[in-house]
Amino acid sequence: MQNLIFKNIFSIPIITGFFLISAINLSAQSNLINRIEQQKKDSVARNQLEKSVERYQDRDNKKDTLDEDFDDDLMESHPADDLYNSIWTRERLNPYQTPPSALPDSIYIDCSEFAFPLSETSINSRFGPRWHRMHYGTDLKLQVGDSVRAVFSGKVRIVDYEPHGYGNYIVIRHNNGLESVYGHLSRVLVTENQEIKAGELIAYGGSTGRSTGPHLHLEFRYMGNAFDTEHLVNYANRLILDDILLITKDKMFRYQVQAKNIGSQPRSKYYTVRRGDTISKIAARNGVSVRTITKLNKISATAKLKTGQRLKIR
């Protein structure tokens, strides 16, 4: 009996030790499994990180390459070349046939190198409707022989003479995408396809073509569409309003709707007074009232008329 008790007492530590060792082994095994899993996760995370870094570096290298190519393109050719799809002709002022509706809503133009075309001037006539037709430029006062200079750097596209319009005129396509027109010149100093710098002397002012006196007719155009030069130039101080010109369709080209309506409006009608005419006879002959004639010509109904006098009757 005593031997049995002794054996049982002796076996308790052994059993306890066994379970303790087993527990330690299980714990160690569990820790080992956890470490292996963590290492796997770390390995996956490290691989993902390395791939992300590689992708970023590839993207960065591609970006640098594109930037270098872009800079090279700017140095080798004019930005305007792509804009105008290589259309280069002297035959027409506007060969592009691109309506404002086809343009982007907003366009930014670098105008930082602007040079005023005249040494000093004042405005004779502004952009807009005039004499039942659209006046697409700004008329600047000058004396015959005054120097006319290019407003931006670029290349001369047209040098021509138009007897019933611009007279002697020049069209320059500028590197920033604009085109400028200089009309009624007395003498042209440049040739077609000639490279021009901003501020370079290109002509002398005059009064050729359809002109009522010496002046420079100046136009700015984008893709063939004229816009008011006063969107860009402050004529009071002969400077640009801003280094960057923002062209918007609604602001710059709204006039084209107005221009279409100009042609549909009835034109003024005049009558040349003949011997024996009176205001009442003229009114009856032309189907208008006496009051209309007196109001249009700022005369009284009893005013004496002279043979050959012109009266506005409509």
| Among the ranges given (70-79, 112-121, 216-225), the one the predictor scored with the smallest mean pLDDT | 70-79
Residue bearing the bigger pLDDT, 13 or 76: 13
User: How far apart are the C-alpha atoms of 205 and 188, rounded to whole Å?
Assistant: 9
Query: Among 46-55, 97-106, 264-273, which range has the highest average pLDDT?
Result: 97-106
User: How far apart are the C-alpha atoms of 190 and 85, rounded to whole Å?
Assistant: 25
With 60 as the cut, is the pLDDT of residue 85 above it?
A: yes
Pair 150, 172: CB distance under 8 Å:
yes
In this prediction, residue 240 carries a pLDDT of: 95
Residue reference for tokens 């050719």: 77
User: How far apart are the C-alpha atoms of 72 and 76, rounded to whole Å?
Assistant: 6
DSSP for 211-232, written as a single string = -SSSEEEEEEEETTEEE-GGGT
- CA dihedral sign, ordered 258, 246, 248, 166: positive
In this prediction, residue 257 carries a pLDDT of: 65
In this prediction, residue 81 carries a pLDDT of: 74
In this prediction, residue 238 carries a pLDDT of: 94
148 token code pair: 């006319």
Q: Is 158 helix (H, G, I), strand (E, B) or coil?
A: strand
100-264: CATH superfamily: Glucose Permease (Domain IIA) (2.70.70.10)
Pair 293, 309: CB distance under 8 Å:
no
Q: Mind listing the pLDDT tens digit for each residue in 190-239?
A: 999 999 999 999 999 999 999 989 999 999 999 999 999 999 999 999 99
Query: Among 194-198, 271-275, 283-287, which range has the highest average pLDDT?
Result: 194-198
With 50 as the cut, is the pLDDT of residue 65 above it?
A: no
- The domain locations on the chain are 1-76, 100-264, 270-312
User: How far apart are the C-alpha atoms of 44 and 104, rounded to whole Å?
Assistant: 47
Angle at 106 between CA 100 and CA 107, to 5 degrees: 90
Orientation of helix 279-286 relative to helix 290-297, angle to 10° = 110
With 80 as the cut, is the pLDDT of residue 71 above it?
A: no
Say which CATH topology domain 270-312 has.
Answer: Membrane-bound Lytic Murein Transglycosylase D; Chain A (3.10.350)
Dihedral of the alpha carbons of 247, 251, 256, 261, in degrees to the nearest 10: 180
In this prediction, residue 24 carries a pLDDT of: 53
310 token code pair: 């012109």
Compute CA 198 distance to the chain's CA centroid, rounded to the nearest angstrom.
19
